Structure 1
Amino acid sequence: MQLTMEYEQETDGRWLAEITELPGVMAYGPTQTEAIARVKALALRVIAEQLEHGEHVPNTDTISFAAA
Protein backbone atom coordinates (compact mmCIF):
# COMPACT_ATOMS: atom_id res chain seq x y z
CA MET A 1 0.00 0.00 0.00
CA GLN A 2 1.48 3.30 -1.05
CA LEU A 3 0.05 6.42 0.56
CA THR A 4 0.42 9.83 -1.04
CA MET A 5 1.35 12.65 1.26
CA GLU A 6 0.83 16.32 0.46
CA TYR A 7 2.14 19.12 2.62
CA GLU A 8 2.20 22.89 2.58
CA GLN A 9 3.09 25.80 4.79
CA GLU A 10 0.19 27.87 6.05
CA THR A 11 0.29 31.68 6.15
CA ASP A 12 0.78 31.55 9.94
CA GLY A 13 3.97 29.50 9.49
CA ARG A 14 2.59 26.12 10.55
CA TRP A 15 2.90 23.13 8.24
CA LEU A 16 -0.06 20.97 7.23
CA ALA A 17 0.44 17.41 5.98
CA GLU A 18 -2.32 15.23 4.55
CA ILE A 19 -2.68 11.64 3.29
CA THR A 20 -4.80 11.82 0.16
CA GLU A 21 -6.00 8.19 0.23
CA LEU A 22 -7.35 8.50 3.79
CA PRO A 23 -9.98 11.25 3.96
CA GLY A 24 -9.59 13.44 7.01
CA VAL A 25 -6.08 12.24 7.84
CA MET A 26 -4.18 15.48 8.24
CA ALA A 27 -1.90 16.96 10.86
CA TYR A 28 -0.29 20.28 11.68
CA GLY A 29 3.23 20.79 12.94
CA PRO A 30 5.52 23.72 13.65
CA THR A 31 7.98 22.34 11.09
CA GLN A 32 7.58 20.36 7.89
CA THR A 33 9.36 17.39 9.46
CA GLU A 34 7.05 17.34 12.48
CA ALA A 35 3.88 17.65 10.39
CA ILE A 36 5.03 14.74 8.23
CA ALA A 37 5.85 12.59 11.27
CA ARG A 38 2.47 13.36 12.84
CA VAL A 39 0.47 12.57 9.71
CA LYS A 40 2.35 9.29 9.18
CA ALA A 41 1.60 8.25 12.77
CA LEU A 42 -2.05 9.21 12.37
CA ALA A 43 -2.33 7.28 9.09
CA LEU A 44 -0.94 4.15 10.72
CA ARG A 45 -3.39 4.50 13.62
CA VAL A 46 -6.32 4.86 11.18
CA ILE A 47 -5.23 1.77 9.24
CA ALA A 48 -4.84 -0.19 12.49
CA GLU A 49 -8.36 0.82 13.54
CA GLN A 50 -9.74 -0.26 10.18
CA LEU A 51 -8.05 -3.66 10.50
CA GLU A 52 -9.28 -4.12 14.08
CA HIS A 53 -12.85 -3.42 12.98
CA GLY A 54 -12.66 -5.88 10.09
CA GLU A 55 -12.79 -3.24 7.38
CA HIS A 56 -11.17 -4.05 4.06
CA VAL A 57 -7.76 -2.44 3.79
CA PRO A 58 -5.92 -3.29 0.55
CA ASN A 59 -2.40 -4.75 0.72
CA THR A 60 -1.16 -3.78 4.15
CA ASP A 61 1.82 -6.14 4.04
CA THR A 62 3.95 -3.19 3.01
CA ILE A 63 3.05 0.42 3.68
CA SER A 64 5.08 3.26 2.18
CA PHE A 65 4.66 7.01 2.01
CA ALA A 66 5.45 9.15 -1.04
CA ALA A 67 5.35 12.91 -1.35
CA ALA A 68 3.03 14.23 -4.02
Structure 2
Amino acid sequence: MKIKVVIWQEDGVWCGSVPALPGSHTWVESYEDLLEMLKEAIIGWLEVASEDSNMEVNSEKQLVELSL
Protein backbone atom coordinates (compact mmCIF):
# COMPACT_ATOMS: atom_id res chain seq x y z
CA MET A 1 0.00 0.00 0.00
CA LYS A 2 1.19 3.49 -0.75
CA ILE A 3 -0.19 6.58 0.96
CA LYS A 4 0.88 10.21 0.71
CA VAL A 5 2.12 12.05 3.78
CA VAL A 6 3.05 15.67 4.34
CA ILE A 7 6.40 16.17 6.10
CA TRP A 8 7.93 19.43 7.32
CA GLN A 9 10.40 20.70 9.87
CA GLU A 10 9.37 23.31 12.42
CA ASP A 11 11.52 24.71 15.23
CA GLY A 12 13.98 21.81 14.87
CA VAL A 13 11.24 19.16 15.09
CA TRP A 14 10.12 16.92 12.25
CA CYS A 15 6.35 16.93 11.76
CA GLY A 16 4.16 14.68 9.64
CA SER A 17 0.53 14.38 8.69
CA VAL A 18 -1.54 11.94 6.64
CA PRO A 19 -4.19 14.01 4.84
CA ALA A 20 -6.25 10.93 3.87
CA LEU A 21 -6.56 9.84 7.52
CA PRO A 22 -8.12 12.53 9.74
CA GLY A 23 -6.27 12.99 13.01
CA SER A 24 -3.10 11.24 11.86
CA HIS A 25 -0.35 13.63 12.91
CA THR A 26 2.96 13.10 14.66
CA TRP A 27 6.20 14.89 15.45
CA VAL A 28 9.64 13.77 16.63
CA GLU A 29 13.25 14.95 16.61
CA SER A 30 14.63 12.87 13.72
CA TYR A 31 13.50 12.25 10.16
CA GLU A 32 14.00 8.48 10.48
CA ASP A 33 11.88 8.35 13.64
CA LEU A 34 9.20 10.43 11.91
CA LEU A 35 8.90 7.91 9.09
CA GLU A 36 8.55 5.07 11.58
CA MET A 37 5.98 6.97 13.66
CA LEU A 38 3.95 7.79 10.55
CA LYS A 39 3.91 4.11 9.56
CA GLU A 40 2.69 3.16 13.03
CA ALA A 41 0.04 5.91 12.96
CA ILE A 42 -1.26 4.71 9.57
CA ILE A 43 -1.40 1.07 10.65
CA GLY A 44 -3.13 1.99 13.92
CA TRP A 45 -5.65 4.25 12.19
CA LEU A 46 -6.55 1.55 9.66
CA GLU A 47 -6.88 -1.12 12.36
CA VAL A 48 -9.27 1.03 14.40
CA ALA A 49 -11.27 1.99 11.31
CA SER A 50 -11.54 -1.68 10.33
CA GLU A 51 -12.76 -2.67 13.82
CA ASP A 52 -15.29 0.17 13.86
CA SER A 53 -16.69 -0.75 10.45
CA ASN A 54 -17.06 -4.40 11.50
CA MET A 55 -19.10 -3.41 14.57
CA GLU A 56 -21.43 -1.05 12.74
CA VAL A 57 -22.85 -3.17 9.96
CA ASN A 58 -25.69 -0.72 9.23
CA SER A 59 -23.48 2.37 9.31
CA GLU A 60 -23.50 4.65 6.28
CA LYS A 61 -19.69 4.73 6.31
CA GLN A 62 -17.70 1.72 5.21
CA LEU A 63 -14.03 0.86 5.06
CA VAL A 64 -13.19 -1.21 2.00
CA GLU A 65 -9.89 -2.44 0.67
CA LEU A 66 -8.97 -1.70 -2.93
CA SER A 67 -6.10 -3.20 -4.87
CA LEU A 68 -4.60 -0.96 -7.52
Give the TM interval when normalised to the shorter protein. 0.7 to 0.9
The gaps in structure 2 that reach 5 residues or longer are 54-60
Rounded Cα–Cα distance in structure 2 between residues aligned with 1:60 and 1:37: 24
Residue in structure 1 matched with residue 43 of structure 2 by the alignment: 44
The gaps in structure 1 that reach 5 residues or longer are 63-68
Q: When the two structures are superposed, what TM-score results if normalisation uses the length of structure 1?
A: 0.74
Question: More relative contact order in 1 or in 2 (CA 8 Å, sep 6+)?
Answer: 1
Aligned length: 61
Residue in structure 2 matched with residue 5 of structure 1 by the alignment: 5
The structure carrying a bigger helix percent of its residues is 2
Deviation >3 Å, runs of 4+: none
Rounded Cα–Cα distance in structure 1 between residues aligned with 2:21 and 2:14: 18
Within 5 Å, which residues of 2 pair with 1:1-68? 2-10=2-10, 12-54=11-53, 56-59=62-65
Percent sequence identity over aligned pairs: 18
Residue in structure 1 matched with residue 58 of structure 2 by the alignment: none
Rounded Cα–Cα distance in structure 1 between residues aligned with 2:3 and 2:37: 14
